[in-house]
Amino acid sequence: MGQPKYRRVILKISGEGLCKPGGMGLDQEEISRIALAAKAVVAGGTQLGIVVGGGNFIRGQVLSQAGHVRRATGDYMGMLATCINALALQDTLEDLGAPTRVLTAIEMRQIAEPFIRRRAVRHLEKGRIVILAGGTGNPYFTTDTCAALRASELEAEVLMKATKVDGVFTADPVKDPTARKFDRLTYQEVLEKQLGVMDLTAISMCMASRIPIVVFNLKKEGNIARVIAGETIGTTITS
């Protein structure tokens, strides 16, 4: 691998990135694939923070639609799900010899450190992979918004948004074979066209912080390394 393009990146992995396509829960093979790629990023000299989602277990909004469980309660359950994912990723990374810290937005001192910005920066500078769990710590937000927030405050150069398709399309490429992929988009275009790649809060935050977003296919082998090397894959969203 040549010189990496980025010094510090935030990688957003959805919960569904950690299970088999269309599945739920955790799949060790998928987690190991991501861990191997993440280890290589740090070995290449790039500082890496990973924001994990929790949708492979719970989405607060979906759960609350069935009644009984309040939206806020469901959201907290979703945030706890991200912590489960973070721990699985941490042990897998450390088995590969990659030093890792889990930092949670909701305190759970027995299993992880609380998220403290300056501490997160220190871990990154020491070459540790920092897994950012518990979302923003607030209900009614998403882990995409958490990724935009952490990328902003940790001064990452790019937010890598891993998805199960090749980038941002005119329509859902899984359902519509005529859907066309965008190579480049502006934040404004994503907001105006409501392209649904990330929630609008996340896009707005990246726009305000001028953090480029690269949307790419996680399930294609080698893609994380390609983005880090500066290859133009997926869709790049900038001002």
Q: Which two tokens stand for residue 170?
A: 């005119």
Closer to ligand UDP by Cβ: residue 56 or 100: 56
β partners of residue 158: 9
The residue number whose beta carbon is nearest to ligand UDP equals: 53
| Binding residue for ligand UDP, selected from 26, 40, 53, 223, defined by CB under 6 A | 53
Tell me: does residue 161 bind ligand UDP (CB under 6 A).
no
Q: Is 149 helix (H, G, I), strand (E, B) or coil?
A: helix
Smallest distance from ligand UDP to CB 234, Å: 17
Smallest distance from ligand UDP to CB 134, Å: 8
Closer to ligand UDP by Cβ: residue 135 or 234: 135
Helices 71-95, 28-43: axis angle to 10 degrees equals 60
Tell me: does residue 73 bind ligand UDP (CB under 6 A).
no
Tokens 């998805």 correspond to what residue? 163
Alpha carbon 131 to its chain's center: 10
Smallest distance from ligand UDP to CB 73, Å: 10
Find the part of the chain contacting ligand UDP (CB under 6 A) among 11-19, 171-179, 184-192, 231-239.
11-19
Closer to ligand UDP by Cβ: residue 14 or 46: 14
Tell me: does residue 138 bind ligand UDP (CB under 6 A).
yes
**Pick from 158, 219, 152: which is nearest to 5 by CA?**
158
Tell me: does residue 14 bind ligand UDP (CB under 6 A).
yes
Alpha-carbon span 35 to 121, nearest angstrom: 20
Q: What share of the chain is helix, strand, coil (3-state, %, to 5)?
A: 40, 20, 40
Tell me: does residue 54 bind ligand UDP (CB under 6 A).
yes
**Pick from 166, 171, 138, 164: which is nearest to 236 by CA?**
166
On the 0-12 / 13-18 / 19+ scale of CB atoms within 10 A, 64 is: middle
Tell me: does residue 128 bind ligand UDP (CB under 6 A).
no
Alpha-carbon span 189 to 195, nearest angstrom: 8
Tell me: does residue 15 bind ligand UDP (CB under 6 A).
yes
Tell me: does residue 163 bind ligand UDP (CB under 6 A).
no
AA letter at 129: I
Find the part of the chain contacting ligand UDP (CB under 6 A) among 34-42, 53-61, 163-171, 189-197.
53-61
AA letter at 144: D
- What is the number of other CB atoms lying within 10 angstroms of the CB of residue 45? 13
Closer to ligand UDP by Cβ: residue 39 or 59: 59
Closer to ligand UDP by Cβ: residue 4 or 64: 64
Q: Which residues bind ligand UDP (CB under 6 A)?
A: 14-16, 53-55, 59-60, 74-75, 78-79, 81, 135-136, 138-139, 141-144, 146
